[in-house]
Amino acid sequence: MATLRVALAVAAPRCRVLAQRGLWTQSRQQLAAAAAANGVARPSRRGLTTVSQAAAAAVTTLSRDEVITGHPSNNVTDAIYSKIGVNLHLQPTHPIGIIKQAIYDYFDKQHPDTFKKFDNLAPIVSAHANFDEVLVPADHVSRSPNDTYYVDPDTVLRCHTSAHQAELLRGGHSAFLCTGDVYRRDSIDATHYPVFHQMEGVRVFSAADWAGQEPTAYAETELKRTLEGLAQHLFGKVEMRWIDAYFPFTEPSFELEIFFKGEWLEVLGCGVMQQQILDKNLEAGHKAWAFGLGLERLAMVLFDIPDIRLFWTADQRFLKQFRAGDLSARFKSYSKFPPCYKDVAFWVSDAFTENNLCEVVRGIAGDLAEEVKLIDTFTHPKTGRTSNCYRIAYRSMDRSLTDDEINALQEEVRSTIASKLGVELR
């Protein structure tokens, strides 16, 4: 049986660390399948309504009760709650803060006094802002509680910084960079973490800018030139290529890939903003581009950081390697503790999802969980029941784990799987 994800050891080549997998790209396949099943070209979109809410409140502190509300649809865990307010992007000597500032510097140099910066918008947003306002269809997979953290049915932890596009446009901002922590229920491996950081960039144009050219073509050209310049600013001379992509909020849409250590790496998604978003939030006569880039990915490439969990360590042996404004640092591994593998097999039910399993593992083992991988599956010929076997890799970035410690974690994982996921252990 094929594994769900390529195993990524800490020492794995960096290019594989950045293996592609897009929420929105995947979703297009699902949309196509749904459309085919419904016999329609495209699933219908939920109607847009106007919100009169002011821009999200600045991050102060969110109490646990505000985030883990007790509402039956709430799926935020304590492990996730503990990440809210950490704000790695606000720490000037942290790799995430350093890369954010390097991007600011590029935009300020190219276009002085043009891009307004937002980096303290609260990560709790309305589902309306996260999805409806950027035209995410009502049945899009990203809306599922399997993929997104819901505070209550109308409120989510933003799954992308695009959640702020519409409100910032309404606020009269025609060029902005919006940075923040984003949250996604996800599988576990060296490049995927349920909390990561994005920077959204938007630039609005009017007729004076495109000066007789076709507006969409003008915006597309300007967008690509801007982002190619950014990649060069961060990485120096690099080979890059544009891939056609799909996002509900842009048309046309692209992803930028950079050739790095022998492979093509996706570093950002972007495109020409859907006219509907502009027309809804601005007076007529505008065109805009938008992009959303992953700060961890850029920092992993730039600083040679092999595992996404390292961004969250408090270990000075990591943190001391980076300095504000210094893009030349290259991460040097300070320890290589071996992973410890434990397998768990169970009969699955229809309700079982891998994201739920990963949430259980993360809730118990925290950052000691390096990877959860499906290694075997079979269907019983007589009963028709399906059994999955997952291999969990436990590893600390900072120290050796004892057998007792790992066995205790694994026991708790096993009993929680049995009690919470509706599966039968084998």
Distance CA(262)–CA(259), nearest Å, equals 6
The reply on whether position 396 binds ligand FA5 by CB under 6 A is no
User: Of the two residues 67 and 256, which places its CB atom closer to ligand FA5 in the complex?
Assistant: 256
User: Of the two residues 122 and 202, which places its CB atom closer to Mg ion in the complex?
Assistant: 202
User: Of the two residues 150 and 291, which places its CB atom closer to ligand FA5 in the complex?
Assistant: 291
Residue from 5, 8, 24, 169 touching ligand FA5 (CB under 6 A): that is 24
Q: How many CB atoms lie within 10 A of CB 163?
A: 28
Instruction: Burial-class residue 379 by CB neighbours within 10 Å (0-12, 13-18, 19+).
Output: exposed
User: Of the two residues 67 and 299, which places its CB atom closer to ligand FA5 in the complex?
Assistant: 299
Using CB under 6 A, count the residues that bind ligand FA5.
29
Instruction: Write down the least CB distance from residue 50 to ligand FA5, Å.
Output: 21
Measured at CB, which residue is nearest to Mg ion? 22
Q: Which of residues 158-217 bind ligand FA5 (CB under 6 A)?
A: 160, 162, 184, 186, 191-193, 196, 198, 200
The reply on whether position 246 binds ligand FA5 by CB under 6 A is no
Q: Which of residues 253-272 bind ligand FA5 (CB under 6 A)?
A: 266-271
Instruction: Write down the least CB distance from residue 20 to ligand FA5, Å.
Output: 8
Question: Quick one: what does residue 290 bind among Mg ion, ligand FA5, none, with the CB cut-off 5 to 8 Å set by partner type?
Answer: ligand FA5
Q: Which of residues 65-124 bind ligand FA5 (CB under 6 A)?
A: none
Q: Which of residues 238-277 bind Mg ion (CB under 5 A)?
A: 269
Q: Which of residues 158-177 bind Mg ion (CB under 5 A)?
A: none
Distance CA(271)–CA(220), nearest Å, equals 7
User: Of the two residues 22 and 252, which places its CB atom closer to Mg ion in the complex?
Assistant: 22
Instruction: Write down the least CB distance from residue 310 to ligand FA5, Å.
Output: 13
User: Of the two residues 131 and 322, which places its CB atom closer to Mg ion in the complex?
Assistant: 131
Question: Quick one: what does residue 246 bind among Mg ion, ligand FA5, none, with the CB cut-off 5 to 8 Å set by partner type?
Answer: none
Residue from 13, 22, 252, 339 touching Mg ion (CB under 5 A): that is 22
The reply on whether position 247 binds ligand FA5 by CB under 6 A is yes
Alpha carbon dihedral 108, 90, 146, 193, in 10-degree steps, equals 100
Residue at 284: amino acid letter: A
Instruction: Write down the least CB distance from residue 412 to Mg ion, Å.
Output: 34
User: Of the two residues 187 and 281, which places its CB atom closer to Mg ion in the complex?
Assistant: 187
Contact residues: ligand FA5, CB under 6 A: 22-24, 160, 162, 184, 186, 191-193, 196, 198, 200, 247, 249-250, 266-271, 290-294, 296-297
Contact residues: Mg ion, CB under 5 A: 22, 269
